Amino acid sequence: MVLRRQLNPQSIFDEEELRAAFEKNDIKPLHIATVWNYVLSGIAKRSCNDQMPTRPNFADIKDLPVVAHNVLQLDFSAFTSEVIREQMSVDGSTTKLLIQLQDGKQVETVIMHHDASAGRYAGQPRGGGPRTTLCVSSQVGCQMACSFCATGTMGLQGNLTAGEIVEQLVHALRFTPNIRNVVFMGMGEPLNNYDAVLQSVRSMCSGKCFRLSPNHITISTVGIIPRMKTLASDLPGVNLALSLHAPSQELRAAIVPAARAYRLDKLVAALDAYQAASGRTVFVEYVMLAGVNDSEPIAHQLGSLLKGRQVFVNLIPHNSVSAATSAHSASSPADVRRFQEVLRESYGLHATVRQEMGGDIAGACGQLVVSNFVTDEANRPTPTASSRDQGSRCDTAVSDIEDLLMVSALKM
């Protein structure tokens, strides 16, 4: 069991800690919004290259009791983390941030820019204009050790606090002010850091400051069954993405070690229970691995498993960035297309292919790993043929979570 990391000073964006400190000193909780907005207004006046002060002069915050100034100065910091490196993909669509935490540990977060002003999805015009999705980390490393994921090679080094998760959003706002979707698909298994993830989502969705909609937040899990059973009531309106990757217990256990503890039959039962409680579509994530889980018979197995359920299958091109994950290779576009056709035509399932973003800076799905943060442009990974071409060769390619939500709404 990973020991809880203790921060000193605490992050002001850890709402539970700040609220407790205020209540202990008879300070009204409504002042939390005052503090947050003061810090965020300072961010709006700075460029992404400016160094952010970790301990601003809280005494400058108007309408804040003097005792609150003292509490903030003694026990809290505006930032317990800092961006120490940024990388942008060649096409400008993706920015990856390397963030150093107070204890020296590091995580990555990814900003994905998307223009929804042109093209069509599901035969319908696409609405809206430019928007941004932020992919946040919930842990330092990950203990799930999925065979195709680079983050798992780090092992689990610690859980992030709620404040450290929210700070990823705050840091990202320095680079773009238009973030409206947040996905918990970065480093770590979110449901293994359950309390901090709950707190961070509630802070992001509160009316105090960030005002994100629960419908625009997606939490991905490899299938932590006890937490799946409580998620619908703890975070109503939030989207769930299930990392399935195989339709049988034997195959899933071979590539997703956590499946040995959370067996497929019980996982499907938890999925049904979640949907009964939430009434929401679940996104099923399925990484396509050549010669492993991409054959036509396996597509039929998956179709049989999911048929009749309120799910949306998102087929994901495999991205290799480390020696540990290079044992797998990406499925060919033709195999992905046939897999998708089986799911759609034989079982009536809604299935898309994720059009990967950020592959050249190791910022795509499964590529986040601190030890492989690219330090030289010449050493950037070259996107594979499948990640470059998949979107143009497969029907309904999706590169943005909001497009996936829109397709889901149109299809249902």
The catalytic residues are 108, 365
The CA R_g of the chain, rounded to the nearest whole Å, is 21
Q: Tell me the Ramachandran region of residue 155: left when phi exceeds 0, alpha when psi lies from -120 to 50, beta otherwise.
A: left
What burial letters (b/e) apply to 327-353, b meaning 16+ CB within 10 Å?
ebebbbbebbbbbbebbbeebebbbbb
User: Nearest 5°: phi and psi at 313?
Assistant: -85, 130
Residue 232, C-beta contacts closer than 8 angstroms, at least 6 positions apart: 274, 277, 278, 280
In the numeric block, which tokens belong to residue 124?
A: 């319908």
Q: Compute the distance between CA of residue 240 and CA of residue 243 in angstroms, rounded to an integer.
A: 10
Residue 162, C-beta contacts closer than 8 angstroms, at least 6 positions apart: 13, 14, 15, 16, 195, 196, 197, 199, 200, 203
Name the helix (H) or strand (E) containing 204: helix 194-205
| Residues recorded for the chain | 412
254 SS3 class: helix
How many CB atoms are closer than 10 A to CB 205?
Answer: 20
What burial letters (b/e) apply to 285-323, b meaning 16+ CB within 10 Å?
bbbbbbebbbbeebbbbbbebbeeebbbbbbbbbbbbbe
Q: Compute the distance between CA of residue 290 and CA of residue 39 in angstroms, rounded to an integer.
A: 48
In the numeric block, which tokens belong to residue 393?
A: 């060769």
